[in-house]
Amino acid sequence: MAGKPMPDGGDPAALVRPRSIATFGGEAAAEVIRQCRRMGYAGRIHPVHPHRAEIEGIPCHARLADLPEVPDAAFVGVNRIASVAVVRELAARGAGGAVCFASGFRESGDAGAELQAELVAAAGDMPVLGPNTYGLINYLDGALLWPDQHGGIRRETGVALLTQSSNIAINLTMNRRGLPISYVVTLGNQARTGMSAIIPALAADERVTAIGLLVEGFDDIEALAEAVAAAHARDVPVVVLKAGLSDTGAELALSHTASLGGSAARTQAMLARLGVGQVESLSTFLETLKLLHTGGPLTGTDIVSLSCSGGEAILMADAGARHDVHFRPFTPAQHTRVQETVSDLVTVSNPFDYHMFMWGDCPAMTRTFTRVMEADFDATCLILDLPRGDRCDDRLWRPSMEALIAAHEQTGGRAAVVATLPEGLPEEVAEQCVQAGVAPLIGLDDAMTAIETAAHIGRARGREQPWRPLLAPERAGRTLKSLSEPSAKRALQEHGVPVPRGETVAVDSGGGEAAEAAERIGWPVVVKAVAADLAHKSEAGAVALDLQDAVAVTAAAQRLGPIAESLLVEEMVGDGVAELLVGYEYDPALGGFLTLASGGILVELIGDSALLPLPTTADEIRRGLEGLRVMRLLQGYRGRPPGDIEALVDAVDAMAGFCANHAATLAELDINPLIVRPQGCGVVAADALIRMYGSESEERES
C-alpha cells in the first residue's frame, strides 16, 4: 500500500543525535539554523541553496555534492516534488537521515499517495521523518531540525515526546508544568520511518528518562512490540495517549465475541499487554511523564496524603476513591512514631491533616514528614497550592514544600507536591521540585491517574518475557466456512478443551436413533439440531435441555428434525457453578485476541468481559478472570460451592493454544457457555462455534 512505513524504518541514531546538519530550502531552512544557534548546537551546519550565497551568515553550497562531509541529518525544506530528488541524493551519499517538511503527499489524495511511494523508494534504507512534519528537537544537544518556535530549553535529562501532529508537539513544548523534555519528534505521515523505529533510538540515550507517545495510528504492531521491549530492557518506561479510541461500530459477525470488543478495547488490551502506561488526556500524559521522570515506575499504589487542611484531606480521599490507589492506614508502631512529632490535638490518619500548629516551621514539618515517609508508602503526596505571586507573599507556604524535599532526601522515599489547581504551582516552583527529585503534580485526579499509571508500569516489569502479537497472513479472498458443532468440539478436544460426552445421529422420523444414543450416554441429556446456518441454537429454538427419558428425547428429535441436518445428543451438565464465554477474534492491525466474559444468553446484556491479546499465558488468563464480576461466583458466593478455577485456566490456555496453532486459518471461535463445575470437577465446553478460512492447498485443489 502506498505510504505504508517500512518495518525497520532504518537506524535513526545519527538523525536524532546529529554531529552535522545540512539544510535545504529558504526561509524554513533559515529558521532551522536560527533555532540551532539559540539552543547552542555545537555541531556543523551546512546550508544548501542553488541561488543564495549565505543563509544566516553561513556560506551556502549550491549542491549537496559540494558539501565537505556527508551530513548526519538533513532538513529538507523544499517543495514536495523537489523533496523526492533531494531525499534520493541524500540516500545515495549515505546521509544519516532526513526530515521531509513538505506536505501534499498521502494526506492530499491519490496523486499525493503515489508521490509518497516515490519518496519511500527514493529513501531506500535511509531514515526519513515525514513527509508533512516539522521534524525533531534534541534539547540535550541543542540540535533542532525544526522550522518554528517551541517552548523548551536545553536539558541534561528529560522525557522524549513522539507525536504525529506537529502542532500538538508545539503545544506540549509550551507547557509550564516543570516537565523536562529531552526530545520532541514529530512523525507526520510516517512514510519511511515510523514510531517503532524512533523509540529504540531514543531509549538508547541514557539521558532519556521516559518516552511519551501521542498516537493517532500504529505503524507496525509487531515492530512496536519490539520497540517497547527495547525501551523496557533499558529501564525506560513508556506512556501512551491514543487518540481516536471512540468506536465507530464493528462489522457484524456470527459470534457474541465480536459484539463485546471494539477496536478501542483491543487497542487498550494490546497496550496493557505491552506493559506501557495508558492515559486519556494531555494533562494526565504530562503529569504521568513528570512522575516517571523524577523516579521511574512505582512499586504499588499505597499512598499517603499530607495537608494542613481537613477539607483538602477529604478532597484527596474522594479523588483516591475514583482511582486505583489505596490510603493504607499506619501500623500502630508507625502511628506512634508520627504522633510523637505533632501536637496532641492532631489525629494521625491517612489522609493526614497535620493542621496549622507547625505552619511555617520547616524543621518541625521535616521531622513529621520524615516519620511519615519512613512508613514505606509507595508515594507521599503533599497537598499544596501557593498563593499568586503578583498580589501575595508565599514565604509561609514554601517551608512545607522544603520539608517534603528534605524528608525525601533523608529517606529516599517517592514524593510529590500536588496542587489542586494549575495556578497553585508556578513553573519555577515545579522546576525546583523536579531538580530535587520530587514530582510536582497538578490536579488531584490527574495526580491519582499518574500514580496508578506509574504503578501499572511497575507491576508489568516483573511479568513474563516481552510479548509479540499473534499475526496471521493476508486472507483476503479466501473461502470462509463454519464447522458443525460436533466438528468444532472434536477439534477443541484434541487440543485439551473438555467437551460433553455425546453422539451425532441422523435425522429420522421416529427419533429412535437419538433415544438409543441417549441410553448409551446416560440421563439426563441434551438434544441439539446441527445445521450450517444455526450459529446460536438457544435463540433459534434448536436445543432441548434436561431430557430425562426416551419419550422426551424422541419428542425433541421429532421437533428438531425439520430444521436439522443431523442431531447431536450430549450429556446434560447440571452442576455448573457459573457459565463463561471464551471467544477468539482477529484484528488485522493488532492480531488475535481472546475474550473472557460472563457466559450464557445474557452475555451481551451483562457486558462483563476482558480481552487478552494472543499469545497469552496462564498467569495472564488468571489475571483476566480476576477482573470479571463472575469471579465472585467462582470463588463461592454466599455459601455456594467454589468453581474449579484451575481447570478453567487450563481450558482457556488450551483454547489459546488452539488459536495459535490455527492462526493462519482461524477466523472466529466462540465457546458459550463454558460451564465451570464445582472445584475438582472440571469444566465443560457446552457449545462451540468455529469459522475458518480454507487453506491455500485446499483452495488450489478445489
The C-alpha atoms of residue 456 and residue 297 are separated, in whole angstroms, by 8
Q: What is the pLDDT of residues 300-347, one digit of tens each?
A: 999 999 999 999 999 999 999 999 999 999 999 999 999 999 999 999
In a shared domain, residues 556 and 588: no
486 within a domain of the structure (yes/no): no
- Are residues 672 and 600 in contact, defined by beta-carbon separation less than 8 angstroms? yes
- Are residues 119 and 192 in contact, defined by beta-carbon separation less than 8 angstroms? yes
Q: Which of 203, 222, 245 is the last residue of a domain?
A: 245
Residue 474 — very low, low, confident or very high, per pLDDT cuts 50/70/90?
A: confident
Residue 539 has pLDDT above 80, yes or no: no
Q: What is the pLDDT of residues 605-638, one digit of tens each?
A: 456 789 999 999 999 999 999 999 889 889 988 8
Q: What is the pLDDT of residues 343-402, one digit of tens each?
A: 999 999 999 999 888 888 999 999 999 999 999 999 999 999 999 989 999 999 999 999
In a shared domain, residues 455 and 514: no
In a shared domain, residues 66 and 138: yes
- Residue tagged 482477529 (cell numbers): 586
- In this prediction, residue 375 carries a pLDDT of 97
Residue 256 — very low, low, confident or very high, per pLDDT cuts 50/70/90?
A: very low
In a shared domain, residues 49 and 193: yes
In a shared domain, residues 567 and 681: no
The C-alpha atoms of residue 506 and residue 566 are separated, in whole angstroms, by 5
228 within a domain of the structure (yes/no): yes
Residue 531 — very low, low, confident or very high, per pLDDT cuts 50/70/90?
A: confident
In a shared domain, residues 316 and 374: yes
Share of the chain above pLDDT 70, in %: 93
Higher pLDDT, 4 or 236: 236
- In this prediction, residue 475 carries a pLDDT of 76
- In this prediction, residue 59 carries a pLDDT of 96
Mean pLDDT for 155-181 is: 96
- Are residues 683 and 645 in contact, defined by beta-carbon separation less than 8 angstroms? no
Q: What is the pLDDT of residues 672-695, one digit of tens each?
A: 999 999 999 999 999 999 999 986
What is the radius of gyration, based on Cα positions, of the chain?
31
390 within a domain of the structure (yes/no): yes
The CATH number covering residue 558 comes to 3.30.1490.20
17 within a domain of the structure (yes/no): yes
The C-alpha atoms of residue 68 and residue 145 are separated, in whole angstroms, by 20
The C-alpha atoms of residue 54 and residue 58 are separated, in whole angstroms, by 5
In a 3-state reduction of DSSP, which class is residue 276? coil
Beta-carbon count within 10 A of 417 CB: 29
- Amino acid letter at 650? D
- In this prediction, residue 473 carries a pLDDT of 85
- Are residues 87 and 123 in contact, defined by beta-carbon separation less than 8 angstroms? yes
Mode of pairing for the β-strands spanning 379-383 and 20-24: unpaired
Share of the chain above pLDDT 90, in %: 79
Q: Which of 523, 544, 571 is the last residue of a domain?
A: 571
Nearest to 145 by CA among 116, 169, 125, 119: 169
User: For 646, what's the count of Cα atoms within 13 Å in the CB-facing half-sphere?
Assistant: 3
- Amino acid letter at 545? L
Higher pLDDT, 537 or 541: 541
The CATH number covering residue 662 comes to 3.30.470.20
In a 3-state reduction of DSSP, which class is residue 676? strand
The CATH number covering residue 221 comes to 3.40.50.720
In a shared domain, residues 160 and 178: yes
The number of folded domains in the chain is 4
- In this prediction, residue 535 carries a pLDDT of 66
Residue 107 has pLDDT above 90, yes or no: no
Would you tell me the crossing angle of helices 444-461 and 310-321 to the nearest 10 degrees? 50
Q: Which of 525, 544, 571 is the last residue of a domain?
A: 571
- In this prediction, residue 249 carries a pLDDT of 34
Rounded to 5°, the CA angle 634-467-648 comes to: 20
Q: What is the pLDDT of residues 201-245, one digit of tens each?
A: 999 999 999 999 999 888 789 999 999 999 999 999 999 999 877
- In this prediction, residue 115 carries a pLDDT of 94
- In this prediction, residue 8 carries a pLDDT of 58
477 within a domain of the structure (yes/no): no
284 within a domain of the structure (yes/no): no
250 within a domain of the structure (yes/no): no
Alpha-helical regions (H) of 301-414? 310-321, 332-339, 362-373, 398-411
In a shared domain, residues 567 and 614: no
Rounded to 5°, the CA angle 175-179-184 comes to: 75
78 within a domain of the structure (yes/no): yes
- In this prediction, residue 307 carries a pLDDT of 95
Q: What is the pLDDT of residues 491-522, one digit of tens each?
A: 999 999 999 999 999 998 678 899 999 999 99
In a shared domain, residues 174 and 140: yes
Residue 263 — very low, low, confident or very high, per pLDDT cuts 50/70/90?
A: confident
In a shared domain, residues 539 and 621: no
Residue 589 — very low, low, confident or very high, per pLDDT cuts 50/70/90?
A: confident
The per-residue DSSP string of 111-130 comes to HHHHHHHHHHHHHTTS-EE-
Most trustworthy range by pLDDT among 171-180, 524-533, 599-608: 171-180
pTM for the complete prediction? 0.90
The C-alpha atoms of residue 405 and residue 402 are separated, in whole angstroms, by 5
Q: What is the pLDDT of residues 572-582, one digit of tens each?
A: 999 999 999 99
In a shared domain, residues 507 and 630: no
Three-state SS sequence of 15-49: HHCCCEEEEECCHHHHHHHHHHHHCCCCCEEEEEC
The C-alpha atoms of residue 293 and residue 178 are separated, in whole angstroms, by 11
- In this prediction, residue 255 carries a pLDDT of 42
Looking at every residue in the chain, the average pLDDT score rounds to: 91
The CATH number covering residue 346 comes to 3.40.50.261
Range of the domain at 518: 501-571
Nearest to 278 by CA among 466, 453, 467: 453
In a shared domain, residues 73 and 171: yes
